[in-house]
């Protein structure tokens, strides 16, 4: 006997009541997308589990893909046997002997979804456990803290035997919590914010502000690579690249230098909100961390937020840089973010930006713009959009010619 299935447990999805099927269908589609390079696998859905039938595909490579899919609490490689006492005994023994078991402790944990089965849970625990014990050497029972917990899930159509739980990514399947616009600078923080938003089921659109010739094509490629990295966690992502040079130059001419940072962020938020409306999004996500830089004080966020009533999600707001960096390394975006190419947030940076800007002052300075709305609409109209998946790049326009 060999392991021929991967058994997936849902966790939080089990609490979704009437919406449970929608969540499971979405999760199933993400699993199919992540495993499309393994053509022989099949998925089987039940009310509380998804089974990946391996059909000879390598489980080690599939496990690495499954670990990154949001909506999975845990999973195990599993052996499928008949719902028959002798088949369960043989399967459990084969599973133990497939492991480095000598000198270790074990227990059997039976879960009996098929309540009409001839033996009750404790009777099955004893029957299977004693069979394993008498047919192995140097293996002992410990029901409280075993080295090996042999799980046996008894269902009417089949029984599944597993011996090791692997933690999943948790959260909710991407797309089940609506669509949000991630303001993606190219630094360390915003990709981490996007990761956490995806973990809570948000379908991401990324918005990047691009200011040639002050920012380079390599800076743009860096952002594309970051988005591609995020797609490994369950979804296709649209990247909107906004031409921002003209607005930044206008701000430099119109607004006192210590307020240019505040005004720049307000323009970015207005444009992102316009794109949100166009793409039917419901929220804006940022990588802000309270007090990290001048634009992330409470006073700055109050003045910048004034331009929109759209919900703004800030997953990192209470984290410090060390915590954020550790997560960036974990999700493998850190090395990309550290590439030394400037983005539009680092050019035109004033020597002494206001850390406590006044809303009435920045509003007053911006009142001298005669064509602010025109600037915004032109930037939105000229925005280039790329659809990015984990293994492909599709240009919605002629942008591909640039690379």
Binding site for ATP, by residue number, is 183-184, 208-209, 265, 287, 296
Burial class (CB in 10 A: 0-12, 13-18, 19+), 296: buried
What CA–CA distances, in Å, run from 58 to 42, 62, 240?
13, 7, 37
**In terms of Cα–Cα distance, which of 341, 179, 365, 188 is closest to 275?**
179
Helices (H), 243-320: 245-254, 260-278, 298-305
228 sits in which H/E element: helix 217-230
Q: Kindly report the CA angle at 88 between 86 and 93, in degrees rounded to 5?
A: 100
**In terms of Cα–Cα distance, which of 145, 160, 147, 139 is closest to 4?**
160
Distance separating alpha carbons of residues 169 and 124, to the nearest angstrom: 32
Chain CA centroid to CA 159, Å: 32
Distance separating the N- and C-terminal Cα atoms of the chain: 51
Handedness of CA 83, 84, 85, 91 (dihedral sign): negative
- In sequence order, the β-bridge partners of residue 241 are 208, 384
Q: What is the DSSP letter of 220?
A: H
Token representation of residue 104: 């270790």
Q: Half-sphere exposure (CA, 13 Å, Cβ side) for 252?
A: 11
Helices (H), 3-134: 20-34, 59-66, 85-97, 121-134
Helix axes 260-278, 298-305, angle to 10 degrees: 50
Known binding positions: 183-184, 208-209, 265, 287, 296
């Amino acid at each position: 006997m060999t392991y021929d299935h991967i058994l997936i447990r849902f966790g939080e999805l089990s609490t979704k009541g009437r919406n449970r099927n929608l969540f499971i269908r979405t999760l199933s589609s993400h699993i199919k997308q992540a495993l499309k390079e393994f053509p022989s696998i099949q998925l089987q859905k039940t009310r509380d589990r998804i089974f990946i039938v391996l059909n000879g595909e390598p489980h080690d490579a599939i496990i690495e893909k499954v670990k990154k899919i949001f909506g999975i609490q845990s999973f195990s490689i599993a052996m499928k046997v008949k719902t028959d006492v002798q088949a369960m005994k043989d399967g459990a023994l084969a599973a133990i002997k497939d492991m480095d078991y000598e000198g270790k402790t074990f227990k059997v944990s039976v879960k009996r979804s098929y309540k009409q089965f001839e033996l009750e849970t404790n009777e099955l625990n004893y029957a299977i456990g004693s069979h394993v014990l008498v047919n192995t050497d140097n293996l002992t029972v410990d029901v409280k803290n075993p080295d090996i917990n042999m799980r046996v899930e008894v269902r009417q159509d089949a029984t599944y035997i597993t011996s090791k739980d692997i933690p999943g990514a948790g959260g909710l399947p991407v797309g089940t919590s609506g669509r949000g616009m991630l303001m993606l600078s190219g630094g360390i923080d915003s990709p981490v914010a996007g990761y956490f938003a995806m973990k809570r089921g948000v379908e991401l659109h990324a918005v990047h502000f691009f200011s040639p010739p002050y920012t380079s094509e390599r800076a743009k490629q860096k952002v594309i690579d970051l988005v591609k990295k995020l797609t490994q966690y369950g979804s296709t992502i649209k990247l909107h690249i906004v031409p921002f040079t003209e607005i930044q130059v206008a701000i430099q001419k119109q607004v006192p230098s210590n307020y240019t940072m505040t005004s720049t962020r307000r323009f970015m938020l207005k444009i992102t909100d316009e794109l949100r409306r166009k793409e039917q999004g419901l929220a804006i996500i940022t990588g802000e961390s309270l007090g990290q830089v001048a634009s992330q004080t409470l006073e700055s966020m109050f003045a910048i937020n004034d331009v929109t009533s759209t919900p703004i999600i800030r997953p990192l707001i209470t984290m410090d840089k060390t915590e954020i960096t550790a997560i960036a390394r974990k999700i493998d975006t850190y090395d990309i973010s550290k590439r030394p190419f400037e983005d539009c947030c680092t050019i035109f940076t004033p020597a002494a930006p206001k850390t406590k800007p006044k809303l009435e002052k920045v509003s007053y300075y911006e009142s001298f713009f005669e064509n602010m709305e025109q600037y915004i609409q032109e930037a939105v109209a000229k925005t280039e959009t790329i659809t990015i998946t984990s293994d492909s790049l599709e240009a919605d326009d002629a942008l591909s010619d640039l690379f």
